Structure 1
Amino acid sequence: MKVSSEVLREQLGLIFRVWGMPAEFIEMTSRVMIDTDLHGIDSHGIGMLSVYNNWRKMGRIIFDAPITVVTDLPSLCLIDGGGGLGHPVGIQGMKIAITKAQETGLGMVSVRQSNHFGAAGYYARMALEHDLIGIAMTGTPGSAVVPTFGKKNMLGTNPIAFAAPTRRNPPFVLDMATSTIAIGKLAVAKRLGLPVKEGWALDEDGNPTTDPVVAREARKLTPLGGTRELGSHKGYGLAAMVDILSSTLSGAGILCVTRDKGEEFNIGRVGHFFLALNPATIRGDDGFPDELDDLIDVLHATPPVKKDQPVLVAGDPEWEAFKIRTKIGVPVSEQLAREIKNVADEAGVAYLLKN
């Protein structure tokens, strides 16, 4: 079925209110989750609701947690999310980075004591409204990625998002996991009953698997590249870099390190990294968007191998999905609809998604 943004927003609001989330946080969290689905990133939007519900029941999210600024300097800031869900502190963190970039040319915000914040691309794209470059990275609440040559999951999927403003073309928006796929894609494959692609995931013994159930239970993803021969050491290195900037820098902690020390790592210890950069401050003019348009035009003009598959740039598929889904609604599978209904029933609120 296709569901409108308005219905999804109302459904999430009913559930989040029962969970004890303040009205301001409800608006921000719902906005990020729905926007993510509208851009075609089904693994990080409303499909995360049942996961958040499980974490809630485990006591791993404080839905009304205060957000505190710990360190505030002209271009730098450290924020403590208090163990709350990551969307509100993610929005606040990027807003602060944007303000600092407008004032000094560069704004960097580090966040600790947070949780899963959805799709990193949302926060990077926030900078575009102000003609700024935006970067967002995050650690994750669980280990899923197996280092090259290893067989144990040690790192998170640790996504990186980069957004740069244009004038004529849709903006350049790169939003990628540092694993071959995001862990949420295993849940999507399982939900749809589809096999996962070869090279995406490993079983408990570290062998490749295409079974979505086996892959989901093992939670062992390959680093970006898949194998050493195809460059998985690069994805592995990027994943470690994201943890350094998101978690080590903020003091949030990294699961594999705390686990190795025998310490407890709860989900409210996720770290984020946000950066906003003003190209006009560096260049002394406003020509950056025009030159980026020229680059995008040249890349789009690359002769394709197949005429029916033109060359794309980062962000193109998501913008196309956004144009379609804002008109027809967000596709919700039968399995996802059941998951949302179960969460709504458990919360004692009305189930609003109808065919």
Structure 2
Amino acid sequence: MTDPTPQQMHLINHSDLQAFVEAILLGNGTPPANAAIVAQCLVAADLRGVDTHGSNRIPSYMERIRQNALDARAQPTLRQVTPVAAQVDGRNGFGFVAAHTAMDAAIRMAREFGMGMVSVKHSNHFGMSAWVVRQALDAGMMSLVFTNSSPALPVWGGREKLMGVSPIACGAPSGDPRRPFILDMAPSVAARGKIYKALRRGEKIPEDWALDQDGARTDDPARALEGVMLPMGGPKGSALSIMMDVFSGGVLRGGVCGACDESPDLFMSMEEFQGRMDYLYKRVVESEKMAGVDRIYFPGEIEMITEEQRREKGIPFAASEIASLNQEADRVGIAHLKVQSSN
């Protein structure tokens, strides 16, 4: 049974964390440019409060390198299929690098033809989907990002691991870069990474997140990982997980993730599009509130606020998480992670 005793939390400066993660990656054979991409993406997740897809993933990634399950030195290759479609071969390297290459290509095609689509094959986990969406937003473009993942979710009415907890993400720019539309969600009640996070921190989970191996609801993350995740919205979540496999898995052909990018100025001017987005933002956040609600947030806004706070105050890590990261530092002979403060 998981120890429910909360661990002391420590705050880490985001710049120190990024340099630390990058050094570990370099020490494990990752080329400098690729190490910078991976470290930046992981810390971006930490800053947005998506701790399940942040720097705590480093020990598992490094273990995959040691087991020769991931090639840290691999460089993805791009094959142009049509003027608006391409495919990236990740060559079993970091998914972050393959996804970055794919979105770069999609952006390039969208600038010339109004839209671009790229699929990725032979790749690995690429962290928080929102960072790929952010890459398109920085170029002033809308985007859709799909990926499939290893089985962890039953189809509706079943209890065996059959579908992946595969996220869908999308984004659209607005006139104010501080409040773009960003949606990044999994078809399960909770992301599987949240269960791993609870296990690391000795915490229980809500009983509606997962079933144990006997098909019973559980609040123990260890037992939950032996069982299956539960889909959100019953059959709707199950159907979304199947859709992810259709669009980004073997059904469509090719790979671990697919990225589709569409330029917002294909059908109207950028200025008109941004104005419409700003209007939508105001309509959403200024709409009438239900009882007990103080504020309505636009998709992605809470994460933006969290990022502002964490840039200023630091990113929280449990003592056990810091110890795990420092073990990787010892393996490559670099200094331990610097703690900013504790609470």
Structure 1 length-normalised TM: 0.89
Which of residues 198, 201, 217 in structure 2 aligns to 1:208?
217
- The 1:320/1:306 distance shift into structure 2, 3 A limit, reads farther
Residue number in structure 1 paired with 2:99: 90
Structure 2: which amino acid aligns with 1:58? Q
Residue number in structure 2 paired with 1:107: 116
Residue number in structure 1 paired with 2:156: 148
* Preserved CA contact (<8 Å) 2:141 2:172: yes
Alignment RMSD: 1.7
Residue number in structure 2 paired with 1:42: 51
- Residues 45-94 of structure 1 show CA distances to partners (whole Å, capped at 9, x for unaligned) of 10111221232232210011121113342110011000001001111111
> Which stretch shows the higher mean deviation, 79-88 or 340-349?
340-349
- Residues 290-334 of structure 1 show CA distances to partners (whole Å, capped at 9, x for unaligned) of 112111211111222245531222101101101101111211111
Q: Does 1:30 align with 2:15?
A: no
After superposition, where does 1:227-242 map in structure 2 within 5 Å?
A: 232-242=234-244
Shift of 1:250: 6.0
Paired residue secondary structure (2:125): coil
Paired residue secondary structure (1:208): coil
Paired residue secondary structure (2:87): strand
> Which stretch shows the higher mean deviation, 68-77 or 170-179?
68-77
Q: Does 1:251 align with 2:260?
A: no
Q: Give the count of matched residue pairs.
A: 330
Partners of 1:351 and 1:219 lie apart in 2 by 35
Residue number in structure 1 paired with 2:6: none
Residue number in structure 1 paired with 2:308: 323
> Which stretch shows the higher mean deviation, 68-77 or 237-246?
68-77
Q: Does 1:281 align with 2:266?
A: yes
Paired residue secondary structure (2:45): helix
Shift of 1:102: 0.9
Partners of 2:270 and 2:182 lie apart in 1 by 22
- The 1:12/1:285 distance shift into structure 2, 3 A limit, reads closer
Shift of 1:248: 2.0
* Preserved CA contact (<8 Å) 2:133 2:143: yes
Unmatched segments (≥5 aa) in structure 2: 1-9
Partners of 1:52 and 1:209 lie apart in 2 by 28
Unmatched segments (≥5 aa) in structure 1: 226-231, 253-269
Shift of 1:249: 5.4
Residue number in structure 2 paired with 1:17: 26
Partners of 2:60 and 2:329 lie apart in 1 by 13
Which of residues 223, 228, 236 in structure 1 aligns to 2:231?
223
Q: Percent identity, aligned pairs only?
A: 28
Paired residue secondary structure (2:152): coil
Residue number in structure 1 paired with 2:172: 164
* Preserved CA contact (<8 Å) 1:110 1:249: no
Q: Does 1:63 align with 2:105?
A: no
Residue number in structure 1 paired with 2:338: 353
Partners of 1:212 and 1:129 lie apart in 2 by 37
Partners of 1:41 and 1:340 lie apart in 2 by 17
Residue number in structure 2 paired with 1:180: 189
Residue number in structure 1 paired with 2:328: 343
* Preserved CA contact (<8 Å) 2:175 2:275: yes
Paired residue secondary structure (2:143): strand
